[in-house]
Structure 1
Amino acid sequence: MRRAPARPRIPCRGARVISTELAGFLQSGISILVGTRDARLFPDCVRAVGARCAPPGELTIFLPDATAGTCIANARDNGRVAATFSRAHDHRSIQVKGRAIEVRPCDAAERAAIDAYRCAWAQELAIIGMPPRVTLRMSHWPAHAVRLRVEAVYVQTPGPGAGAPLVAPEAGR
């Protein structure tokens, strides 16, 4: 019996980037570090307090005002944003790169999402021995929402595939 030739795999881009499984991972209680740069190419990095995927090809990241002033200013200025999502108990890591298309203060519904993220993150870190009372003390409100148009997604899990573009089955498969 002959096997059909394998369909080519393509780098995830645009609306196909955020699969249902990937959205679940990005929105779970995992570490989120956001990197930006200013006009002089000076970098800034800050811990986010949650993320939401929607509509397809977009990602909103929540940044606490108390610690993210420079990151928020950079996102407004040049729009370039890279966010790394990493799960502590198995080190699964994904990096999302994109361009900010909106930067604004969070609303009450987003505060509820941020509170849910903090609880989930505290549970995740408890697995590796961090007391939830420590995690829950992180600065989180007020916050800004930075909505990105996703341009690329990379595997960052330690190992031979780290740094490679995330690939997805060909469209229509």
Structure 2
Amino acid sequence: MIWEGAGGVIWEGAGGMIDDEVAAVLAGPLMILVSTRDPAGRATIGRGSGILRDKGNGLAVLMSRSLWPGAASGAVDGGPIAVTCARPHDYRTYQIKGMITAVAPAGPADAAEGTAYVARMLGVMGALGVSRLQLSQTLTDRDLLRIDIQPREVFDQTPGPTAGRPLGAANTPRDAQP
């Protein structure tokens, strides 16, 4: 799997679910919301602390177990997951739905990615007028869990006429009217 910036964004793998535009958003600064299910099937949510390229055909998201225990306990191998990623400066938003393929405490490399993500987002959000104090209860690199995901569906969730539109090679262009 390749995910590059500068000269063009390329994503190989994920069954072709992640195109260049989605990959560009995933590679940039973004806020991440993770949703899993509790034992009764109810949605649970948590804030992500980083999104990573996986070595196979998927991706991985980092999330604090201690800050988001409900969503963390719902992250089980083989379970469903939705990850919503939004660029904070323009609200370009995508939701990736899929199946969890592995769950484990973040290793040292993943923890370093989580720390870098939090530092980057504190800077990005600070430039947009959101204080560290406001983010201190939702954005953390403590007690990170790595959740590996095999994407099954990708949706444009950017506010506007295309919100909710499924993306993929067989779908209509992003700017088409519903």
TM-score (norm 2): 0.78
Secondary structure, aligned partner of 1:50: strand
Instruction: Find the residue that maps to 1:76 and give its secondary structure.
Output: coil
Deviates more, 1:24-33 or 1:95-104: 24-33
Q: Which amino acid aligns with 2:87?
A: R
* Number of aligned residues: 158
How high is the sequence identity, in percent, across the aligned residues? 27
What's 1:3 paired with?
Answer: none
SS in 2 for 1:139: coil
Pick the structure with greater CA Rg. Answer: 1
Q: Which has the higher contact order (CA 8 A, sep 6+)?
A: 1
Deviation of 1:19 after TM superposition, in Å, equals 3.4
Q: CA RMSD in A?
A: 2.4
Q: Any stretches of 5+ residues in structure 1 without a counterpart?
A: 1-12
Cα deviation, 1:33-64, whole Å, max 9, x if unaligned, reads: 11111232222111010011224530101010
Quick check: 2:54–2:148 contact (8 Å CA) kept in 1? no
Q: Decide which moves more: 110-119 or 147-156.
A: 110-119
Q: Does 1:50 align with 2:50?
A: yes
TM-score by length of 1: 0.80
1:129 aligns to what SS in structure 2?
coil
Equivalent-residue separation in structure 2 for 1:150 and 1:55 (angstroms): 14
Other structure's SS at 2:23 match? helix
